[in-house]
Amino acid sequence: MDYLDLVNVYEELEKTTKRLEKSDIISRLLKKASVEDLEQIMYLIQGKVFPNWDERKIGMSSKLALRAVTLATGASKEEVEKMLNKLGDLGKVAEELTKEKEQVTLVQHKLTVKKVFDNIRKLSVLEGEGTVNKKIGLVAELLTSAKPIEAKFIIRTVLEVLRVGVAEGILRDAIAKAYDVDFKEVEQAFDLMNDYSEVAKVAKKKSLGKIGLTIMRPINAMLAIRVETIEDAFKALGKPALFEYKLDGFRVQIHKKDNKILLFTRGMENVTNQFKETLNHIEKNIKGDSYVLDSEFVGYDAKTGKYLPFQNISQRIKRKYDIEDIAKRFPVEVNLFDIMYYEGKDLTKETQEQRRKFLEKIVKQVPKKIVLTKKLVTDNEKEAKKFYKESLKAGNEGVMVKNLKTIYQPGRRVGGWLKIKSIMETLDLVISGAEWGEGKRATWLSSFTLSCRKDSEFLDVGKVGTGIKEKDEEGITFKQLTKLLKPNIIKQEGKIVKIKPSLVVEIAYEEIQKSPTYSSGYALRFPRVLRVRYDKGVKDIDTIYKIKEIYSKQIK
């Protein structure tokens, strides 16, 4: 398929905000796409070239993309930067400069979807001497052959800011329409495969019903709904119910096949290397050659053995260097609570009760290395409340409550699992903007803009500067946040910067108020940063609907 055909679809998608129209546009594209093109189209329509769980990243900074534009168009760096300050979108800059170049270019090679896809994928595997120039060259090669409108979307794709408003729900509906299948089947397939490219290919063959859990590829985690009291939990789930400590760690999915073990966060990030000291504990103390387990990794102080809050170990998730040193300072205990696959058998359709019993048979517990979550099965409210208080006293967040008959439903908040927490509900939001500081903070970003999600849109809900430290101590610092966010700056006007939404933070606040100032229509009163959620991706942040729900409860 010609890349221009895909670009014309991008243009159509940009012109509408209506969900149904977007799914119709994509479904028409999928209907005419060949099986060979389908994989590449499905990735590129999402503005990426790898599935969510893949370790490979495009890894093209805005600085390198700018250099590629100057190389391909012959414009000076100063000219490109000036246009970027004016237009605020390097893709549009590439489009305008390519128009000027097109007037004097006699020969242009037609770009194909495959050529664009292959060049962008190559960016992730380049290493060694001359890598920077090779990356610039791969992008410049595409731009040299591109029509102006193609140049715009090539740059946006390599920067991972496509801006055509394609959410996962739109892709789900488009696949269902294109191949005349039930959207629920498409959704279930995605929860197991985590790759709409693969789902589309299977749907085209009318084989969605044959999809099962694939070992060594993460499935979407089953999620819990929050309730306020033990009474609410029993009312929703019935009696008896399974209670477990709700730990202040981070969710890890463990996959083992033969002698290889992989660890994935809830956000699909592969963190096997960052927590490789746990692999030996897993190998030694869990029977079996192949399995998929659900767990929580909880940090503890190596000297005292005392359990630590999540933020103490969160830095390990993104750590690439000095891994052994930080593992000694902040070790983790593997807390197992569910099993989804064992020795070739998919266990997701087994009941909660059966899965827990099975898990208990194959695990040898070693405190501070690998254990099962502490549990209680009861129909007694008084006993359940005592267990809840014990969990809080132990420094946990609260309790999980589970229906004994529920199956494991990937990616769903369906009510089979509930959570009860003692603290006011926090929000997981993404940083979408900031301001450069003044005085001694002049080299740091500050006053961070927070956004929630509405489908594929990001809506502002306020700014935060509290809860962030100036000096290295417990918690996150301005310096650390600046280092994390700086590569994702996509626009700057004076001291104000716009940031590609990627870094998730947990926010506490006093209350939610209505506000005409922010695009969400709401504002957080006295927000403060509790921690960076390295274990969560942008798709995991809270939605505008959650904020509306909390607001409505406040005013009752």
What are the backbone dihedrals phi and psi of residue 233, each rounded to the nearest 5 degrees, phi first?
Answer: -65, -45
Return d(Cα 526, Cα 299) in angstroms, integer. Answer: 29
Say whether the peptide bond before residue 527 is cis (omega within 30 degrees of 0).
no
Question: CB-based contacts of 546: which residues, under 8 Å, 6+ apart?
Answer: 427, 452
Element (H, E) at 218: none
Asked if residues 188 and 182 have their Cβ atoms less than 8 Å apart, the reply is: no
Q: What's the distance, Cα to Cα, between the start and end of the chain in Å?
A: 56
Strands (E) located in 379-443: 398-402, 417-421, 427-436
246 is catalytic: yes
Which listed residue (177, 246, 256, 419) is catalytic? 246
Return d(Cα 204, Cα 196) in angstroms, integer. Answer: 12
Return d(Cα 497, Cα 228) in angstroms, integer. Answer: 39
The helix/strand/coil state of 334 is strand
Asked if residues 269 and 320 have their Cβ atoms less than 8 Å apart, the reply is: no
Return d(Cα 49, Cα 154) in angstroms, integer. Answer: 12
Taking CA atoms, 441 is separated from 58, 82, 269, 434, 493, in Å, by 31, 26, 32, 13, 18
Q: Which amino acid, 91? A: G
Asked if residues 318 and 483 have their Cβ atoms less than 8 Å apart, the reply is: no
Q: Which residues are identified as catalytic?
A: 246
